[in-house]
Structure 1
Amino acid sequence: MTKAVQKITLSPSRDIPFEKLVLSQSNVRRIKAGVSVDELAEDIARRGLLQGLNVRPVVDADGVETGMFEIPAGGRRFQALAVLVKQKRLAKTAPIPCIVRDAASEILAEDDSLAENMQRVALHPLDQFRAFVALREKGQSEEAIAAAFFVAPQIVKQRLKLASVAPALLAVYGEDGMTLEQLMAFTVNPDHERQLQVWDAISSSWNKEPFQIRRMLTEASVRASDRRAVFVGVEAYEAAGGTILRDLFQGDDGGWLEDPALLDRLVAQKLQAEAEAITTEGWKWIEVSIDLPYGYGHAMRGLKGEPTPMTDSEGADHARLLAEYRALELEYDGQDELPDDIDARLADLETAMESLDARPLVFDPMEVAQAGAFVTLDRDGKLAVYRGYIRPEDERREQVDVGGDGLASIEGQGSDGEQTLGVHGVGTIITSNGQLLGADLPEDEDDGVLKPLPERLLMELTAHRTLALREAVGRSPDVALTLLLLKLVTDTFRTSGASGSCVEVSVRHLYLSAQSPDLKDSAVAKAVDARHAAWEADLPLGDDAALWGFLTELDQTSRLSLLAHCLSFGINALHEKVNPYGAGISSSGLTRRMAQADIVAHATGLDMVAAGWEPTVDGYLNRVPKVRILEAVRDAKGEGTAQLLDHLKKGEMATEAERLLKGSGWLPEVLRRADLVALDAGAEGQGAPVADVESDQVENIDLPAFLTADLPEENGSMMAAE
């Protein structure tokens, strides 16, 4: 026998005057959340009431209806209507749509209030994104949408940006196949094809972190903070047709420039223009290069210029600043700590005086006609011009010309026979960075076998060590003296060659033929240059007699310091290619050189980490096979971390390894001190392992601010505005 289906009777709806409505004490909502009542009132005034109130008749003690109605569900909407009534924008007698529950119903008022708040389902974020797109496509501006939903315009831009990701990826997100943070990362590059390529590459990988997605989508781009971009200017790059990728969801340092070739062309053009402007100064040559190697002025003679004299106004300003500085120093002399405002004022005074002191140098016009200048970029992206270098072939020679009158006249000529009086034509050479990154190791050569480091990379690494040793020996007189004695003893007891002087000791300034582009900006390079400049300023180099007198009058400490500095320029710890046919260094000679370099490193306490060397993509990681990259990460961070990288491609692995190794103190074996090798070996494998966790197994977390920023109602629903 078929059971009869019970028919459902819904509560009737009717319009009830506002003045007949009161709040119910049965409403379960006690905590304020979501859109404020005032904002909800404005929304109702704009679009009307989208959802009626749930009400019940109020009865007296005898159970008789009083004509009033209480509201167990919809209290916030009632409060918003009350705001409009108070503002006289809504009449007290205005009819309010209501669903009227029978006063004798078995369903409690608290039950209705709880159900209304719990049974509703918030929109999926993807539906929010698409709804915002629909509103914009129908003519609403981003500002209007933001005003309608009481959020900032930036929030609207972010949601619209998320909706612009490739439809296939939106579908994956809609099915919970990726996290919101991953979807946010894909917005950095609008190219749907590239987005899909990246997702295909990482979807089956352990590492699906947002930072990796962003890096893969911008790997062919240049950061706006790059010194080349700073030099050209982002505005000039965009005016030339360049495009920029931006990230709306996190700081991006100005974004990424998508056309590196255009950027390099603009840099070369601007440097060329700067060089052409300098030609008016009369230099014989100007060399233009984005990167200048350490020792770019090797074998050249530097001119000694004089600062441009201060004007009367500048002199008066400098005197005033100096007087104020000294007065403040005297006033606060003896205090352990200066007040913040006084400390800031002293810093401002120092900056102002340094600006006045940093005046252009004036050179002898006759020497300018022989010399040249270098035009390049400094590490901060500012123009750097190094003036006053004379090449050996351009040095003037004294030529005696006996005229018909028997009188000798002397003319200065360069080695090419040209007269040095007057201005020569300027030859501007524009070069690009000559460093070939990764040229030693093709991508497909990695077979998992730990092979020796490439020859050129060894030379570059040992160039770093050689310069660091020079700096260390230069500040270690006792070590320099021992090293000098070692050279003397070796020469005395192991050789029998004749000598043309009473002593055959000499220092030959070795040019580092193989070096990475950043060597000239390293801390040790600056320390060597500063020490050299300080001595050069004191030494009377133009007169041997005066120099002899100067040296004899130096105290013993200064003599040893000068000895150490001079000897340091003879340091050669370079790994060079062995020539089996006799020219160059032999295998045994190279072994002895490197062993002796270890002795000196130990004696000076050399620490290549403290000297500033770090394993970067360009300087090391992109120059070695993947197995060495993994070995470095394993040494520094442990096996677990290394396993997280072993599935990556070479370039991606190198970039991620640079981030992991930064600050770790890891060094390749060629830069380690021999006396610490055992210690390094004992530390292998002690890095903290990283748990292998699938990123799609991570529990859901709260939505970020751009999704939860004061959406209508506490659950962020698009339908909760009433």
Structure 2
Amino acid sequence: MAKAAKKKSAVAMIVFSQSRDIPFNRIFLSESNVREVNVEEGLDELTHDIDRREDIVQGLNVRAIIDSDGSETGDFETPAGGRRYRAIARLVQAGRFPADGLVPCLVKKANAKTSAVDDSLAENIVRLALHPLDQFKAFKRMLDGGLSKEEIAEAYRTTPRYITQRLRLAMVAPSLLDAYARQEMTLAMLEAFTVSPDHARQEQVWERICGSWQKEPWQIRRMLTETTVPTADKRVRFIDIDAYKAAGGTVLRDLFSDDNSGWLEDVPLLDRLVDEKMQATATELAKQGWKWISASVELPYGYANGLRKLTGITEALNEEESVTHEALRSEQEELEAEYSEADELPDAVDQRLSEIEATLTAFKVRPVRFDPAVISRAGVFLSISREGGLVVDRGYIRPDDEALIVADGEDRDDGAEDHALGEVDRDGVQHTVISIGGQPAHKEDEDDEAIKPLPEGLVVELTAHRTLALQNALAGNPHVAMTALLHRMVMERYHFAAPIGCMEISVRQASFSAQGKDLTETPSAKAISERYDTWKAALPSDEDALWNWIAACDDQSRMALLAHCVSYCVNAIQERPNPYGGSSPTPHSLSSRLAGADRLARATGFDMVNDAGWRPTVDNFLGRVTKARIVAAVREGAGERAASLIQHLRKGDMAKEAERLLGDGGWLPEPLQLLPATNVEEMAADGDITAMGADSDSHQTRDEEVPPIAAE
């Protein structure tokens, strides 16, 4: 025990250097200070901080200056604290601190083990910047202590927006703040969560992405605002965001984005304000006597199809407007002539030219007048432009509202005349029919006890239940399912009533954009046509009668009719694929199509030679390919000797002779050949089946095997 105590007492204890106040004019910058780059950076903020608090938070680190004899001179140098020294010097120069004022200093002891350079380096390296969360908490405590955001910003030489941004971190759920403190997310990600104040939603989003490698701030913002409307939306521009706020709407703001973007949280309120503003405009337009006004945020494509556009009369400029127009034109020409040689226009001149151009452009947009006699039969479309402006498109007449043309001397049918009018009240006054977003805009009397139509959303929900119930019932009744299938297919194939009924089934017959002259005369085409006519003669034309007829058929007839209708769905066309899809098949879908056609051919036992009666002729193949391909076809179908006999012939003669040689030999070109099942499956899986028939010279592999033939 005594030995341990003795050993412990032998350990040298640390003795800190002493502090003392030293006149500022006895302190000098040390050449040992390691900070040499950007020494003036941040001095304004530091000087301001010392000046506002009238004190320094940390004293200077100084060492006594020794003369040649090793004695202290009474002066000191500061190797650590150069920025504070320079800030105090600025205050002395500004008269805010006396030159001999006392400065708290830590005077390095004479037997210090470290050098002045070591002290300077340690002060600048061995320190840790404040964590953003700690900064936020400090600002929050200062704010709770009575300081305003502006005062805090002034104290730390920053902006109130920066203080607001840091305080905004309080909107993030505590669990997410903990995740940030554990470095599980970046500061930018944490800032993105401040878009929404809903802690439950924040935690839900974090739970979805925390395990993902994609955790970008923009993704977090998008997920948090997916049920909102951005302030850049044209509906927001149309009503003005201040109107939305005045109506009690809330806006989610992103204080950490440069564009200060925001999102409107109350979408129903936004839509109601849009409808009210559009209805107010429509009500004013209705005073002009239009029969109908259709208002919508976005008009559908082709909204005016089938309507007749009225040609109005554009109002000319009045005398005062004409004078103003000419004056502006003259001023514009004079300014452009005066500065035609200038490399750059003066700001005032450039601004004036812009104002003139805007005014002249406004003169071009003239009001259009319509004949009052036709306004009562015509209507107006209202919509919102991309920039949020109101678009008024006047003067459209629907087919039912066209005025009846009667010969001179004939009486007009009063009933027809009334049909052309809009809503007419008991006094015979026509009222404009206004619709907003496809729904009538007339406000119903709240005291009206009449039964109103069910809300559209409720109807959709109710019929969703009915749809599922019907699907389940149909799955349990194969006979009705077959009847429904046949009824739908026959109606589309024979009466072109697609789509009809509730069965979303389609029968699409492949179209042949390229076809030979003999296609309609083939046995297959004739058989299909005859079968079509036979069934047409037996099928009822009425939809309900057709259902009953199909339901009463025996199973054999139903299956025959089904096979007939399904046959129109076959598409074995081999065309040039398009890797980007569009109207043409992709390479993969083309491979699947051709593999399916071969599978269907094997399943039916179909053969192009024996069943379809196809033979190579001059018209359907031989006269439309190169001589090399003709020779290759004969070599493959009739042998090498037959091929050698036609090589010297001109192409026309060669094609005719090849037709004779191939004759009934059963030869087929590659697009008509049936590949072995294993090859088809492999090619379909690899996507190697290509449009071999896209052009007459696409079979390069076979051409290379044929000896070259001299050109004719």
With normalisation by structure 2, the TM-score equals 0.59
Cα separation, partners in 2 of 1:221 and 1:672, compared to 1, 3 Å: farther
Aligned partner letter, 1:115: A
State whether structure 2 residue 676 is matched by structure 1 residue 669: no
Aligned pairs for 1:5-20 (under 5 A) are 5-20=11-26
State whether structure 2 residue 211 is matched by structure 1 residue 211: no
Asked if the contact 1:394–1:416 (Cα under 8 Å) also holds between the matched residues in 2, the reply is: no
Aligned partner letter, 2:581: E
Cα separation, partners in 2 of 1:62 and 1:224, compared to 1, 3 Å: same
- Counterpart of 2:47 (choices 15, 26, 41) is 41
Partners of 2:410 and 2:249 in 1: CA distance: 60
Percentage of pairs with the same residue:
44
Greater shift, 420-429 or 128-137, is seen at 420-429
Aligned pairs for 1:254-333 (under 5 A) are 254-320=261-327
State whether structure 2 residue 147 is matched by structure 1 residue 140: yes
Aligned pairs for 1:267-666 (under 5 A) are 267-320=274-327, 351-398=358-405, 408=409, 415-417=416-418, 424-432=430-438, 579-584=492-497, 590-592=508-510, 595=513
Deviation at 1:293, TM superposition (A): 2.0
Aligned partner letter, 2:20: R
Aligned partner letter, 1:144: E
- Counterpart of 1:70 (choices 62, 73, 77) is 77
Which residue of structure 2 lines up, in the alignment, with residue 127 of structure 1? 134
Deviation at 1:340, TM superposition (A): 7.4
Deviation at 1:32, TM superposition (A): 2.7
Cα separation, partners in 2 of 1:346 and 1:152, compared to 1, 3 Å: closer
Higher relative contact order (CA 8 A, sep 6+): 1
Asked if the contact 1:225–1:253 (Cα under 8 Å) also holds between the matched residues in 2, the reply is: no
Cα separation, partners in 2 of 1:162 and 1:589, compared to 1, 3 Å: closer
Asked if the contact 1:247–1:255 (Cα under 8 Å) also holds between the matched residues in 2, the reply is: yes
Which residue of structure 1 lines up, in the alignment, with residue 165 of structure 2? 158
Deviation at 1:42, TM superposition (A): 2.7
Deviation at 1:349, TM superposition (A): 6.1
Partners of 2:230 and 2:416 in 1: CA distance: 46
Deviation at 1:95, TM superposition (A): 2.1
Asked if the contact 1:291–1:433 (Cα under 8 Å) also holds between the matched residues in 2, the reply is: no
Which residue of structure 2 lines up, in the alignment, with residue 86 of structure 1? 93
State whether structure 2 residue 99 is matched by structure 1 residue 186: no
Unaligned runs of 5+ in 1: 402-407, 443-575, 598-665, 686-722
Partners of 1:281 and 1:192 in 2: CA distance: 53
Question: For residues 561-593 of structure 1, what are the alpha-carbon distances to aligned partners after superposition, in whole Å with 9 as ceiling and x for unaligned?
Answer: xxxxxxxxxxxxxxx998145334799995455
- Number of corresponding residues: 473
Cα separation, partners in 2 of 1:338 and 1:349, compared to 1, 3 Å: farther
Partners of 2:251 and 2:414 in 1: CA distance: 53
Asked if the contact 2:381–2:392 (Cα under 8 Å) also holds between the matched residues in 1, the reply is: yes
Aligned partner letter, 1:579: E
Asked if the contact 2:492–2:507 (Cα under 8 Å) also holds between the matched residues in 1, the reply is: no
Cα separation, partners in 2 of 1:429 and 1:416, compared to 1, 3 Å: farther
Partners of 1:594 and 1:378 in 2: CA distance: 43
Aligned partner letter, 1:218: T
Partners of 1:102 and 1:126 in 2: CA distance: 38
Partners of 1:56 and 1:140 in 2: CA distance: 39
Question: For residues 663-697 of structure 1, what are the alpha-carbon distances to aligned partners after superposition, in whole Å with 9 as ceiling and x for unaligned?
Answer: xxx99734448999989x9xxx9xxxxxxxxxxxx
Asked if the contact 2:140–2:167 (Cα under 8 Å) also holds between the matched residues in 1, the reply is: yes
Partners of 1:49 and 1:189 in 2: CA distance: 40
Deviation at 1:16, TM superposition (A): 1.7
- Counterpart of 2:156 (choices 124, 128, 149) is 149
Unaligned runs of 5+ in 2: 423-427, 441-455, 465-488, 500-504, 516-577, 594-685, 687-712
State whether structure 2 residue 126 is matched by structure 1 residue 114: no
Partners of 1:675 and 1:332 in 2: CA distance: 61
Deviation at 1:297, TM superposition (A): 2.5
Asked if the contact 1:195–1:217 (Cα under 8 Å) also holds between the matched residues in 2, the reply is: yes
Which residue of structure 2 lines up, in the alignment, with residue 95 of structure 1? 102
Question: For residues 602-657 of structure 1, what are the alpha-carbon distances to aligned partners after superposition, in whole Å with 9 as ceiling and x for unaligned?
Answer: xxxxxxxxxxxxxxxxxxxxxxxxxxxxxxxxxxxxxxxxxxxxxxxxxxxxxxxx
Matched position secondary structure for 1:70: strand
Deviation at 1:113, TM superposition (A): 1.6
Deviation at 1:105, TM superposition (A): 3.2
Deviation at 1:62, TM superposition (A): 0.5
Deviation at 1:175, TM superposition (A): 1.0
Partners of 1:149 and 1:316 in 2: CA distance: 59
Aligned partner letter, 2:496: A
Which residue of structure 2 lines up, in the alignment, with residue 704 of structure 1? none
Cα separation, partners in 2 of 1:419 and 1:63, compared to 1, 3 Å: closer
Partners of 1:179 and 1:385 in 2: CA distance: 49
Asked if the contact 1:369–1:423 (Cα under 8 Å) also holds between the matched residues in 2, the reply is: no
Which residue of structure 2 lines up, in the alignment, with residue 29 of structure 1? 35
Asked if the contact 1:377–1:384 (Cα under 8 Å) also holds between the matched residues in 2, the reply is: yes
Cα RMSD of the aligned pairs, angstroms, is 4.4
Asked if the contact 2:292–2:434 (Cα under 8 Å) also holds between the matched residues in 1, the reply is: yes
Asked if the contact 1:246–1:252 (Cα under 8 Å) also holds between the matched residues in 2, the reply is: no
Asked if the contact 2:401–2:420 (Cα under 8 Å) also holds between the matched residues in 1, the reply is: no
